[in-house]
Amino acid sequence: MINNIPQPEISAAFTIEDIHKIREWNYERRKNMTAAEWLADEAAGAQRMLDKIARAHKKQL
């Protein structure tokens, strides 16, 4: 089951502390996931990135 843990606040400067917050958040979200849930979460994130890239590419055309 995927935890409903809120995303951490990231500073505008994007510091090493922000990276630690993100890593901790990802660990807490995923620590109780099954392998299938973890893969589905990864696939969903990858698809979001592919969609962003496609939208950015269309804007450049």
Average pLDDT over residues 23-37: 94
* CA proximity to 27, closest of 9, 19, 36: 19
Domain span at residue 39 reads: 16-59
Number of folded domains in the chain?
1
User: Is 11 domain-assigned?
Assistant: no
Residue 21 pLDDT: 96
Distance CA(27)–CA(52), nearest Å, equals 24
Q: Does some domain include residue 6?
A: no
Question: Looking at the predicted structure, is the pLDDT value of residue 20 above 80?
Answer: yes
Residue 3 has pLDDT above 50, yes or no: yes
Q: What is the mean pLDDT of the chain?
A: 91
42 inside domain: yes
Residue range 31-56, pLDDT digits in tens: 999 999 999 999 999 999 999 999 99
* Alpha carbons 57 and 61: distance in angstroms, whole number: 7
Please check whether residue 39 lies inside any domain of the structure: yes
pLDDT at 1: 44
